[in-house]
C-alpha cells in the first residue's frame, strides 16, 4: 500500500511516498481504507523530532498523521461494532507513534473510531477529529464553559480555534476572537461577536474594552507571548486553557484563576456529539487546502506557517 514514510527526523524532504506492507487487523481492530487524512501542526513537529524531547515513544519508520475519515474494509477477531463498508472517522493517535494516517490503510482498535457525519465528504470529515476534540476538551471539559459566560479564543481562525469559536456559540456564550484582521470576517461567520487583531498592538487592551473584568474562559492556541498575555485576560475565578505549552501555576495562582494544559485524547462519545452538530449544520468545517498524498510537502509547508485558516487535508484514495 502507498504511505508517506519518515525514516529520520528533518525537513519536508524526509517525507517520502513509498510502498509498505498493508496491515492486518488484530484482535478488536478494524482495517480501514483511508479516504482522507487531516494535517495538523503536530505532524510537522513529529517530522522535525520536536515532540520527542519529552520522551514520547516512537518507532521508525513513522507514518505521520493522527486523524482520518475512511471506510471499514475488514474486522479482526472480536471486533463487532462496525460492518465492512461503514463510513467512519476518528482520531488515531496510538501510545507509540509509528503507524499513522498518511496511508492507504490503517488497522486501529474499533474503540478509536465512530460513524462519520453523513452530510459531509470524507475530506471534510477528516479535518474534524483532532482539532474538534481538542477544542471540545478545552472549552467544555477542562473549562466547563456555560451559557451566558464569556469565551476568548486566541488563534481563533486556525484548526482548533475555528471549532472553539463555534463551541462557544453552541453553548450560548459571548465569544471574542483574537485573530489577524484578514480573518475577522471568517471568525465572525463562525460565531464570534467581537474580534481583535493581535498584530495591531497589545490585544489585552481590545479584550478589556469588551470584557472589563476579563473573560470567564480563555483558550490560547498560539503560545509564547500570547499565552503570557492570556493570563491577564481571565476573570478572577475563571479558566485559562493552554494547548501549546504547559500552564504556569505561579501565574495562575497570582491572578486567582484556574489554568489547564490539555493534551487531546481520543473520545468517540465526543466525536458522536460533534457528528450530530455537523449533521444539524450547527458546526461547519472549512477545508482551506486539500492536497493529494504526493503533495504532502506542500501541506507541511503550509501547516508550518502557523497562519492557516481552517484546516488542511490530504486526499488519499
Ligand atoms: N495540546 C494538544 O492536544 C493540541 C491539539 C491541537 C493543536 N495543538 C497545538 O495548538 C496550536 C494551534 O493548533 P491549530 O491546529 O489551531 O494550528 P493552525 O491551524 O496552524 O492555526 C494557528 C492559528 O494561530 C494564529 N496565530 C498565529 N500567530 C498568532 C499570534 N501571535 N497571536 C494570535 N494568534 C496567532 C493563526 O492566525 P492568523 O492566521 O490570523 O495569524 C492561526 O489561525 C499548535 O501549536 C498545535 O501544535 C495542541
pTM beyond 0.85, yes or no: yes
Quote the cell numbers at residue 294: 504526493
- Cα(53) to ligand 1 centroid in Å equals 20
> For the segment 136-167, what is each residue's pLDDT rounded down to a tens digit?
999 999 999 999 999 999 999 999 999 999 99
What is the structure's pLDDT at 120? 98
What is the structure's pLDDT at 61? 96
What is the structure's pLDDT at 42? 97
- Cα(80) to ligand 1 centroid in Å equals 37
> What are the residue boundaries of the structural domains of the chain, listed by start?
2-128+285-315, 131-261
Residue 54 has pLDDT above 80, yes or no: no
> For the segment 291-315, what is each residue's pLDDT rounded down to a tens digit?
999 999 999 999 999 999 999 999 9
- In this structure, the residue with its CA closest to atom 46 of ligand 1 is 41
> For the segment 32-51, what is each residue's pLDDT rounded down to a tens digit?
999 999 999 999 999 999 98
The Cα–Cα gap between 290 and 293 comes to: 10
What is the structure's pLDDT at 134? 98
What is the structure's pLDDT at 158? 98
Ligand 1, residues at Cβ distance < 6 Å: 40-42, 131, 134, 154-155, 157-161, 178-180, 183, 198, 221-222, 226, 243-244, 262-264, 303, 306-308
Task: Looking at the CA of residue 243, tell me the nearest atom of ligand 1.
Answer: 1
What is the structure's pLDDT at 145? 98
> For the segment 246-283, what is each residue's pLDDT rounded down to a tens digit?
999 999 999 999 999 999 999 999 999 999 999 999 99
- Cα(220) to ligand 1 centroid in Å equals 8
What is the structure's pLDDT at 55? 73
CATH code assigned to 131-261? 3.90.180.10
Q: Which fold has domain 2-128+285-315?
A: Quinone Oxidoreductase; Chain A, domain 1 (3.90.180)
What is the structure's pLDDT at 16? 98
- Cα(222) to ligand 1 centroid in Å equals 5
* Neighbouring C-beta atoms of residue 185, cutoff 10 Å: 9
Using H for helix, E for strand and C for coil, what is the string for the chain?
CEEEEECCCCCHHHEEEEECCCCCCCCCEEEEEEEEEEECHHHHHHHHCHHHHHCCCEEEEEECCCEEEEEEEEECCCCCCCCCCCEEEEECCCCCEEECCCECEEEEEHHHEEECCCCCCHHHHHCCHHHHHHHHHHHHHHCCCCCCCEEEEECCCCHHHHHHHHHHHHHCCEEEEECCHHHHHHHHHHCCCEEECHHHCCHHHHHHHHCCCCEEEEEECCCHHHHHHHHHHEEEEEEEEECCCCCCHHHHHHHCCEEEECCCCCCHHHHHHHHHHHHCCCCCCCEEEEEEHHHHHHHHHHHCCCCCCCEEEEECC
Residue 127 has pLDDT above 90, yes or no: yes
Query: Ligand 1 test: best mutation among 126, 153, 160, most atoms within 8 Å of CB?
Result: 160
Comparing CA positions, the residue from 307, 292, 278 lying closest to residue 125 is: 278
- Cα(82) to ligand 1 centroid in Å equals 34
Residue 168 has pLDDT above 80, yes or no: yes
Amino acid at each position: 500500500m502507498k504511505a508517506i514514510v519518515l525514516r529520520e527526523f528533518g525537513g519536508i524532504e524526509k517525507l517520502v511516498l513509498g510502498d509498505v506492507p498493508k496491515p492486518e487487523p488484530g484482535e478488536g481492530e478494524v482495517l480501514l481504507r483511508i479516504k482522507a487524512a487531516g494535517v495538523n501542526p503536530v505532524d510537522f513537529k513529529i517530522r522535525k523530532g520536536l515532540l520527542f524531547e519529552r520522551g514520547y515513544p516512537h518507532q521508525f519508520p513513522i507514518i505521520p498523521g493522527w486523524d482520518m475519515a475512511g471506510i471499514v474494509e475488514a474486522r479482526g477477531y472480536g471486533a463487532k461494532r462496525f460492518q465492512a463498508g461503514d463510513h467512519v472517522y476518528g482520531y488515531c493517535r496510538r501510545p507509540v507513534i509509528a503507524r499513522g494516517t498518511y496511508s492507504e490503510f490503517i488497522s486501529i482498535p474499533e474503540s478509536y473510531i465512530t460513524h462519520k457525519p453523513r452530510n459531509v465528504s470524507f475530506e471534510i470529515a477528516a479535518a474534524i477529529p483532532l482539532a474538534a476534540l481538542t477544542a471540545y476538551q478545552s472549552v467544555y471539559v477542562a473549562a466547563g464553559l456555560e451559557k451566558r459566560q464569556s469565551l476568548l479564543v486566541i488563534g481563533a481562525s486556525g484548526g482548533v480555534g475555528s471549532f472553539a469559536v463555534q463551541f462557544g456559540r453552541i453553548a450560548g456564550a459571548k465569544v471574542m476572537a483574537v485573530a489577524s484582521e484578514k480573518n475577522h470576517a471568517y471568525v465572525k461567520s463562525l460565531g464570534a461577536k467581537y474580534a481583535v487583531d493581535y498584530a495591531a498592538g497589545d490585544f489585552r487592551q481590545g479584550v478589556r474594552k469588551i470584557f472589563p473584568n476579563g473573560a470567564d474562559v480563555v483558550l490560547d492556541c498560539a503560545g509564547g507571548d500570547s499565552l503570557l498575555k492570556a493570563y491577564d485576560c481571565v476573570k478572577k475565578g475563571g479558566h485559562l486553557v493552554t494547548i501549546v505549552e504547559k500552564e504556569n501555576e505561579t501565574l495562575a495562582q497570582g491572578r486567582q484563576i484556574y489554568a489547564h494544559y490539555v493534551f487531546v485524547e481520543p473520545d468517540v462519545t465526543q466525536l458522536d456529539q460533534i457528528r450530530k452538530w455537523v449533521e444539524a449544520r450547527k458546526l461547519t468545517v472549512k477545508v482551506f487546502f486539500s492536497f493529494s498524498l504526493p503533495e504532502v510537502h506542500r501541506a507541511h509547508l503550509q501547516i508550518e506557517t502557523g497562519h492557516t485558516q481552517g484546516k488542511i487535508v490530504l486526499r488519499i484514495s
